[in-house]
Amino acid sequence: ASAQFQLAVPVAVVFAPGSVPGDLPRPLPFRDVQEMEIPVNLRTTVTTRYETIYRSTTAQEEAALEAATAREADAALHPLQDASLGSLTLYVVPETSSLLPQGISVYVGKHRSALVRAGGGLAALRARLQQLTQVMSFTVSSITAALSDRVPDGQLGPDARRHLKSSLGYEITFSLLNPDPKSHAVDWDIEDAVNRYVQPVLDKLSLVANFSVDSQILYYAVLGVTPRFDKESSSFLLSAHSLPHVINPVEARLGSSAASLYPVLNFLLYVPERSHSPLYIQDKDGAPVSTNAFHSPRWGGIMVYNIEAPASPQASFPLHVEVDMVRVMEVFLAQLRLLFGLSREELPPEFLLESPGNEGLADWELDRLLWAHTVENIATVSTTLTSLAQLLDKIGNIVIKDDVASEVYRAVASAQSAVAELAVGHLHSAFQASKEAVTSSERAFFDPSLLHLLYFPDDQKFAIYIPLFLPMAVPILLSLAKIVRETRQRKKEPTKVD
C-alpha cells in the first residue's frame, strides 16, 4: 500500500530586543518554509515542512524574558504561547543574556517552547533552530521507527523496534515476586506509589491511549535461571546473556496477557530468595548495573530488590520488609519512558533540557509521541484495508454487509482526514482522526461475517457435491439420452396416410 505523508510543523521564532541578526533577508515579521524528505521506501514518502514565522517579542513576552532564571521565564512565557499541539515557539535571546547558564546555548522548557542564545549570524542560528525543531517534534529516526514495518531492515536503527506499537489502549501490570515467603514477608504500598508517581504520567498520556493499571503479588515464582555465585563479592550474579531466559518462566505465572485485548506492560519487582541473596545484574562488560534492573523491548521491565541479611543470627523468620517505593518507581518510570520511545536522544552539551518533573514528560515530548503514532496509525489503516481488499478479491462470492461497508468508508474518510490535517499542521485533530480510522478498519477487518472459512472456493464445492450427485445423475442422463434417441427415431419413420 502506498502512502504519502506531509507533516507540517508551525514554528514561531521570536526575537528579543538585541538578538536580531544583522543579515536578515527582509524586515520582521516574515514567513519562511523549509521542506525535507524522509526516505522510507519506494511507495511511502514523508515530506516534512517547517512553516516558520519570524517576529519580534511583544511587551508581555519581553517582561517574561526579564525573569531571573530560564525556568521562571519558561513558566511566565507559557500562557503567552500558541498552546495547540505540535506547535513550537522558539525565543531568541541576546548573546549576553544571563537567562541561560554558562556554556548553554539552548534551553528546552517543559511546554512547547525553548530559549536560544543569539550569535553567529542567521546561518548559524538557522542550523541551531533546525536541530532544535527536530528534537522537539520528530527526527528521521522517530518517523522511520513509526513506519518500521515498511522500512527495509538494514535502514532501521537499533532502537526502532524497542518502542511499543501504537494502540488504542495499554494495560500496565505491577507484580511483586516473592519466591521465598518463609524467609521474607514483603509489603509494598503499590496503590499509593501508582497514585503518586504513575498516575500523573498516565493522565498526561491519556490523550494518546486508554490505560488500565493493576497489581499482584506472586509467591514461589522463581526466575528461570540459576544465578552464579561470585566468591570475591560473596554475592550472586545474573549475566546479560542469561537475562532473556529469565522472562519466559516468569511470564507463565503472570497470566495477564492471555485475556487482554491491548498490549500489556509488565513491571516486575523480584525479591531474591535468601539462598540467592544478594543478587546483582551484570551488563555485557561484566560491570554491575547501577539500577539492578533491565528492560525487555515491547514487554516491560524487571528490577531485583535485595534485602539486607539480618545482623543478628537469632533473627526470626520471615523477616518483615517494607519496599522503598520511591527507588522502585524511579526505575519503572524510566523503563515506561523507554517503552514509549520517550528516552532523551543524545544531544550536544550546549543543550539543556528541563526535567518534566512530576508529570513524567514535557508537552513537546507528548507531541513527539503523537506525531509518530499518527503516522503509524495511518500506515496501519492503509495496510489493514489493503489486506481486506485482497481477501475480498480472492473470494468472489463473499457477502459484505452494509455495516461492514460503512466501517470501510468511515476508515478511508478518517484516514484521508488525518493526512489532510497533518499537512496543515493540526496535530490534535490528525491524531484523533487516525485513531477513528484504526478503530473502523479493525472493526471491518475482524467482522465475523468476513471470516474466509465461511466461504468455499469453487473447486471445493465440486469436490463436495460431485460424489453426492453423480450416482443419481447417471440414470437420469441415460434416460434423457434414451428419450432423445426415441424422439429422433420417431421423426425418421414415415407416417402412414390412409
What is the 3-class SS of 301-338, one letter each residue? EEEECCCCCCCCCCCCCCEEEECCHHHHHHHHHHHHHH
36 close to 111: Cβ distance less than 8 angstroms? no
Report the pLDDT value the prediction gives residue 329, as an integer from 0 to 100.
93
Q: How confident is the model at residue 460 (pLDDT cuts 50, 70, 90)?
A: confident
* Cα distances (Å, whole numbers) of residue 293 to 243, 282, 435: 10, 10, 34
Q: What is the pLDDT of residue 457?
A: 67
State pLDDT tens for residues 278-314.
888 988 888 888 899 988 888 899 999 988 877 666 6
Average pLDDT over residues 359-386: 91
Q: What is the mean pLDDT of residues 410-417?
A: 96
The C-alpha atoms of residue 82 and residue 9 are separated, in whole angstroms, by 13
Structure-model confidence comparison of residues 110 and 453, the more confident one: 110
pLDDT of amino acid 97: 85
Inter-residue contact 14 to 56 (CB < 8 Å): yes
Peptide bond into 29 cis (omega under 30): yes
| DSSP code of residue 163 | S
Stretch among 228-232, 433-437, 459-463, 482-486 having the lowest mean pLDDT? 459-463
Segment 387-416 mean pLDDT: 88
Of 12-16, 305-309, 351-355, give the range with the top mean pLDDT. Answer: 12-16
pTM: 0.84
Please, are residues 118 and 128 in contact by the beta-carbon 8 Å criterion? no
Say what the pLDDT of residue 380 is.
Answer: 93
> Which distant-in-sequence residues (6+ apart) come within 8 Å of 263 by Cβ?
164, 165, 167, 170, 171, 298
Distance from C-alpha of 252 to C-alpha of 192, rounded to nearest angstrom: 28
**155 pLDDT more than 60:** no
Q: Rounded CA gap, 173 and 213, in Å?
A: 6
